[in-house]
A and B are shown apart, each in its own frame.
Chain A
Amino acid sequence: MAKLGDEVAAAMSPTAVALSVENISSLDASDVAAIGAALREQLQHHSFALPAANSTAAQSAVPLQLTLSESASEYLWVVQIPGDSAGTNSVPVMMVSVSKSNFPEAEPGEQSLSLEKRFVWKHSERFLDFALLKDSSSGQSLLLILEARRLEIYEPSGAGWQLSRSTPIPPMAALSRDSEGRISLKEGKIWFKGFECVGDPDLTGVVQCKISPPNHNIVERMTIPGLPNSLGTLVYGECRGETISVYTGEGDWTQTDFLQGYLISLGPISAVAVGDAIQVRGPVISLQPERDTSAVRAIIRNLKTEEYEAYIVTATCGN
């Protein structure tokens, strides 16, 4: 808002102005009032006078209109002299753009969670995690498959994927019968129990590992009323203003499983299952959040084929 105030001050000499605010964006009334008040404060800071609407001083004040608008990607706050439709006024149209993430979306009404799974890959050998990414140089889709002792990179080939190269993971700890590993594309890292690896220049290059500091990457599990005692993860995004999470069933690895969406509220902390669960053909053995999207990566051991299957499960909040 300071930038918009500065622009007005640069375009006009300090004088009495009558500021009107029009909202044609999805912002709610409280945000609109707060933004209008912030601009008024900025104008006063620049020595503009803002006479009361019904005062005699207001009749001679220069009219200024603040319009709160939004584009496909951001909010736009626009100040103009009303009636200057041709843009020919000596005072130019002034605007600032503001990220939509600065304003939480208005709370929707009766929204529900719907889970949708999309098959990505399968393999007879167990793998710990997977990730879909674009090659930074060619723009080509790549599939990373993390195994206990190597990271494999697959490229699209016909209808499926073909192994392009395999990067060994240096042994930093004794191989566990219950290995766990996680790919974090955002951080460019792979996490294992007790050690972590980084790629050079990224995970499609050479991988170097080091022992993690003690207690690093260990998350204390918190019991949340309503959540099952099973595998689960938080999901990027919100629904009804609450945090989305996805949890599995509570069976063991000899049983079929399901995935269920939950909404976690913070005051008091509790979780409620929302929407229908989706059934899967075997136990979910890994569940990791996808970056920047309301989805999780799930690895399922198909009890019928005994293969390991990778899925992207998307949580959609809608009516």
Chain B
Amino acid sequence: MLRRLAVISALAAVAFAALPARSARRPRHGGTLRVEIGASVASLDPDVEAATAEEAAAKWQIDSLIFDHRDADGEFAGAAGSGPFRVTAFEAGKRAVLAANEEFREGRPFVDAVEIAMGRGAHERLVDLELNKTDFAQILPQDARRAAELGVRVSASQPDELLALVFVSGNAAATSSARTTSQAPGHAAGQALSLAIDRVAIVNFILQKTGEAAGGLLPQWSSGTAFLFPAAAPSPADLEHAKELWKQIAPSAALVLGYDSADPLEQSVAERIVVNAKEAGMSVRAQAMPGASAGADKSRGAAGQATHVDVELVRWRMTSPLPGVALKDFLARIFLGPLVGVEAGAFPEAASPEDIYKQQRAVLNTYRVVPLVWLPQVYGLNARVRDWKAPGPGGNWPLADVWLDTETPTPAQTPLPTGVR
């Protein structure tokens, strides 16, 4: 079954990355690449802190185009314009124009310029891609299938963003009456929720099959051990087990599930979880919380404490394709959030696959972190964009390698046959 899923995923990736037939031609120089982003970047100065996680992510991408290298802390260093592009125009929060750096030591980029329009909403970006008003824009995973149906070229990365439930530290009132005293607070409720949630349905219906059900803290392509953390749809026995666990807890009020009010995906998933929980006899209430804008890397925790919630949805981006590095970053978040105060087990610097597996197992057995789905980064591309390759975790948009095929007619430019209007 897993192999079949892997094959299907690979086929989907190929279909998404499908290029026009004349893709073997040599790269061409010239043209302006039109980019749209959701964030409004106030400053490109690496020393100026971004107001939101979404702005920080967008700023990091732009800075990676204009700075040649980063220092030991990973911060961009040197002079702006030492990278493949230099800034020729910048309107804070609205637009930026970058010109190719003729002297870039790794070679001049193929395109002459990159024009970045900021503050474009997800719907606007999709419409502009469809109407050929932009060449490149990130689109929401749940919109990938619709975008492809609208004729937009879609490129998806390996799934590298985890959508998970985490129990909010200190807000475990609903679970504090657990009769099994050997279990940590939240353990039984977390286990019951984990058993009741239909992850496969979330992937198939909410994400329109753009993503993978998650049982572990790392995806299969990175760790190779995700298959040891099954994420299949709940069986009748799983639902019975969830009911039993919930009866043991006998909470006085419904569990409050927090989600980012600005994130439509989180809202849909939260509502789905409420339905799944009800099917297992559990009482869960979804509660919108003010948070970062949709699509950004979110690791709130504190937000969950400001608005009373027992459990909340989080989205964690991997920072590296290497499983040891990515897990170490996740563990730092986990032991500062849902497992704050719990002593972290030893995790060696050069962790073996077995160390990585055992560490995931230890965290997941607390049931204070419940993985739900893996999301890819999804990009919409104009037909004239060539040599685009979706970056892996921690990578930046390789816009210096992209070239524009000016001979490829866009649908809007294609002359209509005589008599067709």
Whether, in the assembled complex, A72 has its beta carbon less than 8 Å from a beta carbon of chain B, the answer is: yes
B225 CB to closest chain A CB, in angstroms? Answer: 7
Q: Establish whether residues A69 and B101, one from each chain, have CB atoms under 8 Å apart when the complex forms.
A: no
The answer to whether B322 and A95 touch across the interface, beta carbons within 8 angstroms, is: no
Residue contact A159 to B81, C-beta cutoff 8 Å: yes
Closest to A70 in B: B224
A95 touches B354 (CB 8 A): yes
Interface residues on A, range: 35 or more
A123 part of interface (Cβ distance < 8 Å)? no
Interface size class of B (residues with CB under 8 A): 35 or more
Q: Which of A73-81, A199-207, A232-240 contacts B (4 or more CB under 8 A)?
A: A73-81
The docked-state distance in angstroms from the alpha carbon of A76 to that of B225 is 8
Chain B residues closer than 8 Å to A105, beta-carbon distance: none
Contact call B72/A276, Cβ cutoff below 8 A: no
- B263-293 contacts to A, CB under 8 A, are none
Asked if A195 CB lies within 8 Å of chain B CBs, one says no
Q: Quick check: is A93 within 8 A (CB to CB) of the other chain?
A: yes
> In the complex, what distance in Å separates the CA atom of A161 from the CA atom of B101?
14
Q: Is the CB of A159 within 8 A of B227?
A: no
* Shortest beta-carbon distance from A112 to chain B in Å: 7
B260 interfacial contact with A, CB 8 Å:
no
Q: Contact between B2 and A24 (Cβ–Cβ < 8 Å)?
A: yes
CB neighbours (8 Å) of A160 from chain B are 103, 105
- Main secondary structure on chain B at its contact with chain A? loop
The number of A-B residue pairs with CB atoms under 8 Å apart is 90
**B322→A72 contact, CB < 8 A:** yes
Cβ contact within 8 Å between A76 and B353: yes
Given A158-B79, A159-B104, A160-B105, decide whether A67 and B69 contact each other with a Cβ distance below 8 A. no
- With known contacts A72-B323, A97-B352, A80–B105 Cβ distance under 8 A: no
B387 to chain A, nearest CB (A): 9
Alpha-carbon gap, A276 to B104, bound state (A): 26
Any chain B CB within 8 A of the CB of A164?
A: no
Nearest CB in chain B: distance from A26 CB, A = 9
Chain B nearest Cβ from A229, distance in angstroms: 26
B220 interface contact, C-beta 8 A: yes
Complex formed: what's the CA distance from A278 to B26 in Å?
A: 9
A residues less than 8 Å from B151 (CB atoms) = none
Nearest chain A CB to B227's CB is how many angstroms away? 6
B106 at the interface (CB under 8 A from A): yes
> Which one of A114-122, A254-262, A300-308 is at the interface?
A114-122
Give the residues in chain A near B27, CB-CB below 8 Å. Answer: 116
**What's the Cα separation between A97 and B81 when bound, in Å?**
43
| Residues 115 to 166 of chain A near chain B (Cβ within 8 Å) | 116, 118-121, 139-141, 156, 158-161
Complex: A95 Cα to B353 Cα, angstroms: 8
User: In the complex, are the beta carbons of B105 and A69 less than 8 A apart?
Assistant: no
Separation of A77 and B359 alpha carbons in the complex (Å): 18
CB distance from B355 to the nearest CB of A (A): 11
Known: A23-B3, A158-B82, A161-B105. A95 touches B225 (CB 8 A): yes
Contact: B69 with A114, CB < 8 Å?
no
Q: Which residues of A contact B2 (CB under 8 A)?
A: 22, 24
A87 at the interface (CB under 8 A from B): yes
Within 8 A of B (CB), among A68-115: 69-76, 78, 80, 85-87, 93, 95, 97, 112, 114
CA distance A315 to B24 in the complex (A): 14
Report how far A153 CA is from B229 CA in the complex, Å. 51
Q: How far in angstroms is the closest Cβ of chain B from A113?
A: 11
Across the interface, name the chain A residue whose C-beta is closest to B71: A139
A258 to B105: give the CA distance in the assembly, Å.
22
Q: A112-B24, A118-B107, A156-B68 are in contact. Are A78 and B78 (CB under 8 A)?
A: no
Q: Which of B79, B104, B222, B357 has the most CB of A within 10 A?
A: B357
By a CB distance below 8 angstroms, the chain A residues around B353 are: 71, 74, 76, 95, 97
- B230 on the A face (CB < 8 A): yes
Q: Does B336 interact with chain A (Cβ within 8 Å)?
A: no
The listed residue (A24, A95, A97, A116) touching B6 by CB distance below 8 A is A24
Q: Is B361 part of the contact surface with A, judged by Cβ < 8 Å?
A: yes
Complex CA gap A120/B229 in Å reads 47
Cβ-defined contact, B227 with A69, below 8 A: yes
Given contacts A158-B79, A160-B103, contact A69 B225 (CB under 8 A): yes
Q: Which residues of B contact A80 (CB under 8 A)?
A: 228
Q: How far is the CA of A301 from the CA of B24 in the complex (A)?
A: 28
Most chain B CB within 10 A, of A69, A70, A141, A156, is at: A69
Asked if B227 and A71 sit within 8 Å, CB to CB, the answer is no
Interface contact B230-A85, CB-CB below 8 Å: yes
Q: Identify which of residues 342-387 in chain B touch chain A, using a CB-to-CB cut-off of 8 Å.
A: 352-354, 357, 361, 365
B223: Cβ under 8 A from any A Cβ: yes
**Chain A residues near B335 (CB-CB < 8 A):** none
- A78/B107 contact (C-beta < 8 A), A87-B361, A95-B353, A139-B72 known: no
Contacts of B26 in A (CB 8 A): 276, 278
B72 lies within 8 A of A71 (CB): no
Is B337 part of the contact surface with A, judged by Cβ < 8 Å?
Answer: no
Q: How far is the CB of A29 from chain B (nearest CB, A)?
A: 12
Report the nearest B residue to A121, measured CB to CB.
B105
Smallest distance from the beta carbon of B325 to chain A beta carbons, Å?
10
What residues of B have a CB within 8 angstroms of the CB of A141 in the complex? 69
In the complex the two chains form, is B3's CB within 8 Å of A24's CB?
A: yes
Residue of B105, B222, B229 touching A156 (CB-CB under 8 A) = B105
CB pair B103–A71 under 8 Å, yes or no, is: no
Chain A residues, CB < 8 A from B186: none
Decide if B211 is an interface residue (CB 8 Å cutoff).
no
Contacts of B221 in A (CB 8 A): 71-72
What distance in Å separates the Cβ of A159 from its nearest Cβ neighbour in chain B?
Answer: 4
Closest A residue to B360 using CB positions = A87
Known A76-B353, A159-B101; further 15 A-B contacts with Cβ < 8 A: A24-B3, A70-B224, A72-B221, A72-B322, A73-B322, A74-B353, A76-B224, A87-B228, A87-B365, A97-B352, A118-B107, A119-B108, A158-B82, A161-B105, A276-B24
A-B contact pairs, 13 of them (CB 8 A): A24-B2, A24-B3, A72-B224, A72-B321, A75-B224, A76-B353, A93-B357, A120-B107, A158-B78, A159-B81, A159-B82, A159-B101, A159-B105
Binding site for B on A (CB under 8 A): 22-25, 67, 69-76, 78, 80, 85-87, 93, 95, 97, 112, 114, 116, 118-121, 139-141, 156, 158-161, 276, 278
Q: Which 6 A-B pairs have the closest CB atoms?
A: A71-B224, A159-B103, A76-B224, A69-B224, A119-B107, A118-B107
